């Protein structure tokens, strides 16, 4: 399987799914391109039906030829952290067909159904994986010129995270070079390992964002943990190192003023703990360790 496999799930209105999973007609746009009858999964450019019942053979055959190299980059808006321009550069390893399309897709790696939508999934799933949230190049993709070996072509599209996407760090980008005919054959693919909204830097720390030490109770025993007073009802906690790498993610449940525990990885030096509210408000504190 590896990185040559592209398996993306999608959802439609009805069947008990929250409307937010089909915002801006995403399900209809996915289904129109692949000629699908209902929500399910697409792998290697083909309809493989319900992701809960699909066989491994449906996910792995045919193998992808990978006849082009794909580079994906993004630039977050200076005025809106939920908006980014995504640029995909396609470099042909051999002659590309005349009817080739590029699809830029933003998907969410993991959705906690009940936490994110406030209802229990009708099919009993707790998590949904690799769910399409936006077709940046719209339904039918963008045409790629008939590139010869070594030639490149770049496409830029704008992604805006809808309000229902709460965990921006769980977003990823997939770029698919695909034949525009009935087979929808995938020629090459690439996936990112970070969100298109990730600036690649550590959280910005300013004085008014650092809680007073009186509100923090730090325990240095193993496992290390931090007792903190919730600044708002419920929160997600992200623990960063000074290089901006996320070391741990955790859900914190309670109302404003409750004391909750953030479990920390074994580390030395400076850690940054970012608390994010359900409506996107953010508060950051820095914790030094000896």
Q: What is the CATH number of domain 2-191?
A: 2.60.40.10
Indicate the pLDDT class of residue 29, thresholds 50, 70 and 90.
confident
Tell me what percent of the residues of the chain surpass a pLDDT of 70: 79
Highest mean pLDDT among 32-36, 142-146, 177-181, 224-228: 142-146
Q: What is the pLDDT of residue 135?
A: 92
Domain positions in the chain: 2-191, 207-289
Q: Report whether CATH 2.60.40.10 matches the domain 207-289.
A: yes
Q: How far apart are CA 70 and CA 175, in angstroms?
A: 7
Average pLDDT over residues 160-170: 85
| pLDDT for residue 4 is more than 60 | no
Which of 85-94, 221-230, 275-284 comes out lowest in average pLDDT? 221-230
Q: How many angstroms from the chain centroid is the CA of residue 71?
A: 17
| pTM for the full predicted model | 0.68
Contact 12, 22 (CB under 8 A): yes
Here the tokens at position 48 are 């493989």
Q: Rounded to 10 degrees, what is the CA torsion of 92, 94, 99, 101?
A: -30
């Amino acid at each position: 399987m590896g990185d040559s496999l592209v398996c993306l799930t999608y959802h439609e209105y009805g069947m008990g799914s929250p409307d937010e999973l089909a915002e801006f007609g995403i399900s209809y746009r996915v289904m129109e391109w692949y000629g699908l009858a209902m929500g399910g999964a697409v792998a290697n450019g083909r309809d493989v039906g319900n992701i809960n019942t699909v066989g491994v053979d449906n996910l792995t055959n045919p193998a992808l030829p990978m006849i082009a190299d794909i580079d994906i980059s993004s630039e977050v808006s200076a005025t809106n952290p939920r908006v980014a321009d995504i640029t995909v550069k396609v470099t042909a390893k051999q002659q590309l067909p005349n009817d080739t399309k590029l699809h830029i897709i933003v998907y969410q790696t993991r959705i906690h159904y009940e936490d994110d939508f406030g209802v229990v999934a009708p099919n009993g799933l707790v998590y949904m994986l690799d769910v399409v949230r936006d077709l940046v190049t719209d339904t039918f993709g963008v045409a790629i010129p008939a590139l010869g070996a070594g030639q490149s072509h770049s496409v830029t599209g704008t992604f805006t995270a809808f309000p229902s996407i709460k965990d921006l760090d769980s977003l990823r980008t997939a770029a698919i070079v695909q034949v525009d005919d009935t087979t929808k054959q995938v020629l090459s693919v690439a996936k990112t390992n970070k969100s298109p909204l990730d600036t690649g830097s550590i959280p910005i720390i300013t004085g008014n964002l650092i809680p007073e030490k009186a509100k923090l109770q730090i325990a240095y025993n193993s496992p290390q943990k931090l007792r903190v007073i919730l600044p708002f009802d419920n929160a997600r906690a992200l623990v960063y190192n000074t290089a901006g790498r996320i070391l741990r993610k955790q859900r914190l449940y309670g109302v404003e003023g409750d004391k909750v525990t953030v479990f920390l990885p074994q580390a030395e030096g400076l850690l940054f703990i970012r608390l994010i509210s359900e409506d996107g408000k953010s508060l950051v504190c820095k914790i030094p360790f000896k």
